[in-house]
Amino acid sequence: MPPRKKRPDALKRVSNPPNPWLSHVVEYLGEPPKAELHLHEDSSRTILAHNNSPDVPFTWSVNPYRGCVHGCAYCYARPGHETLGFGAGSDFDRHIVFKPKAAELLREAFEKRSWKGEVVIFSGVTDCYQPLEASLELTRQCLEVCLEYRNPVAIITKSALIERDAELLAELHREAYCQVLLSIPFFDPEKARAIEPTVPTPARRFKAIRRLSEAGVPTGVNVAPIIPGLTDEDIPQILEHAYEAGARYAGKILVRLPSPVKEVFIERLRSAFPHRAKKILHAIESCRGGALSETRFGHRMRGQGPRWDAIVGLFEQSCDRLGYGEHVPVPDPSPFRRPSPQFTLGL
């Protein structure tokens, strides 16, 4: 095996990380992982990440965490953990990097005259509501900054922990703009647990959609990633239950397996579905031109070929039948405003 890269000096090990399963919001988190968690403090000086890839529909994102306790086998963010000196396998689930000054850095970014109030995505990499958020509240602090500046926000998560911030998100939508996508690629909880070991069950995520929708937050469902041969059969049920819960727009993404994600995914797949693994891998290849992944910009999130066309048709027909619509449009011009400075007059 190649030698592990040296960990950057910017990361500081936290000796006693907080345990989110002992907090007052444990009901949102599901079962704790069996593996011990290690927390590392990141002293980054910026928080806004700029994206120029045609594969994703956003320009700016905030990522308070790197690595993810959810441990999804297919997570495309795994290779990024190697740049921090960790492995892309179990290290990704057990060594979590956090940015303690995330909110402070976001406020500094909003104060720059170059900032024009564009939509900020939480998160473009790992889940901003993963379990440690219950203790650290970095995402909530950043959202409070967005509300203060009336900056538009969109959120993608698998976590029911987002319910904790339902009222804050509703206020943010009233004052600026906020939309939420709950990612639900599986309908069967056993299949989900095998591939997404520490993610709340699909049923729990449907409940989160209902809670957010009732609070007044525009909410949708992201049927992502679609794993041909394993989850494509779940598409109609996912869309039906999400719509009944209050989701009004839907998205889809074909699974991506860049190396070393491919190795992690195949190992998990063969362990969980030994008799189906070969057929599932062939099904993915049939949607990727004979490969398990696609590296070309503009093609990484979508497939090709008859099987993928059939999956798209099933998704679109289900959306049309149920009445799904488009995303709530972002206000134009942006409602972004810098708070007026307040002065204290001496008496």
Give the model confidence (pLDDT) of 89-137 as tens digits.
999 999 999 999 999 999 999 999 999 999 999 987 899 999 999 999 9
What do you get for the CA distance between the two ends of the chain, in Å?
71
Q: Which residue has the tokens 């959306």?
A: 319
> Which two three-digit tokens encode residue 277?
């693994």
Question: 163: closest CA among 138, 189, 129, 186?
Answer: 129
* DSSP 3-state of 50: strand
- pLDDT for residue 342: 57
- pLDDT for residue 347: 40
Per-residue three-class SS string for 184-239: CCCCCHHHHHHHCCCCCCHHHHHHHHHHHHHHCCCEEEEEEEECCCCCHHHHHHHH
- pLDDT for residue 108: 97
Q: Which residues contact 73 (CB under 8 A, 6 or more apart)?
A: 195, 196, 261, 264, 265, 267, 268, 269
For 342, how many CA atoms within 13 A lie in the half-sphere containing its CB? 2
Beta strands 95-98 and 219-226: pairing type? unpaired
* DSSP 3-state of 253: strand
- pLDDT for residue 344: 44
Dihedral (C-alpha) 212, 23, 29, 137: value to the nearest 10 degrees? 60
Beta strands 48-50 and 60-62: pairing type? antiparallel
Count the Cβ atoms, other than its own, within 10 Å of residue 176.
22
- pLDDT for residue 1: 41
Alpha helices in 1-85 (DSSP H): 78-82
How far is 143 from 119, CA to CA, in rounded Å? Answer: 12
Question: 229: closest CA among 260, 271, 275, 166?
Answer: 275
| Positions of the chain with pLDDT lower than 50, given as ranges | 1-3, 6, 343-347
Residue 95 burial (10 A CB sphere; 0-12, 13-18, 19+): buried
- pLDDT for residue 154: 97
Q: What are the structural domains of the chain?
A: 11-322 (3.80.30.30)
- pLDDT for residue 231: 97
On whether the CB atoms of residues 94 and 68 are closer than 8 A, the answer is: no
- CA distances for 325 relative to 156, 246, 248, angstroms: 18, 12, 6
Q: Which residue has the tokens 């976001």?
A: 106
How far is 208 from 245, CA to CA, in rounded Å? Answer: 9
Maximum distance among all Cα pairs of the chain, rounded to whole angstroms: 80
On whether the CB atoms of residues 7 and 65 are closer than 8 A, the answer is: no
Count the Cβ atoms, other than its own, within 10 Å of residue 285.
17
* DSSP 3-state of 132: coil
- pLDDT for residue 58: 75
